[in-house]
Amino acid sequence: MATILLISESAASVEPVKSVLVTAGHSVTFAAADTDVLEVSRSTRFDVALVDMERADLSGLVLETASKVVLFSGAPADVTRERVRESGAHGYVRKLGPERVREDLQHFIATASTTK
């Protein structure tokens, strides 16, 4: 399965998503602080970085360590698309519940494994 870097300011808010991804067989590493992201990105290559839109500023940094960078957003679609464009991310998934995030992320996981 995929290796996923999950970046958010709050571990508690993304714990349900992390649990669903781990249950589906993915390896998930959580990073909250900029220093966590730097440390993890130096030592591990990820298939996908799932980045909370509030941390979209880290997208450029993780582009070097992840095959795909995907924003995780609860904002309106037009706002999210603009942030994807600005950040250089490959796309986004909506915050519509953990199972829905897992389903929507599958497209990015599948295309990441073909671009390794």
Q: Using one digit for the tens of pLDDT, what is the confidence trace for 56-100?
A: 988 888 888 899 999 999 999 999 999 999 999 999 999 989 999
The torsion region of residue 88 among left (phi > 0), alpha (psi -120 to 50) and beta comes to left
Q: Return the pLDDT at 113.
A: 63
Residue 8 has pLDDT above 80, yes or no: yes
What pLDDT is recorded for position 115?
Answer: 56
E-only strand ranges, the chain? 3-7, 27-31, 46-52, 66-73, 91-94
Place of tokens 């992390």: 18
- 22-62 pLDDT, tens digit per residue, is 999 999 999 987 778 888 877 889 999 999 998 998 888 88
CATH of domain 3-114: 3.40.50.2300
What pLDDT was estimated at residue 43?
83
Q: Return the ∠ at Cα 10 (arms to 8 and 14), rounded to 5°.
A: 70
The Cα–Cα gap between 52 and 70 comes to 9
d(CA 58, CA 63): 9
| Beta strand pairing call for 46-52 and 66-73 | parallel
Backbone angles phi, psi at 35, to 5 degrees: -65, -35
Helix (H, G, I), strand (E, B) or coil at 8: coil
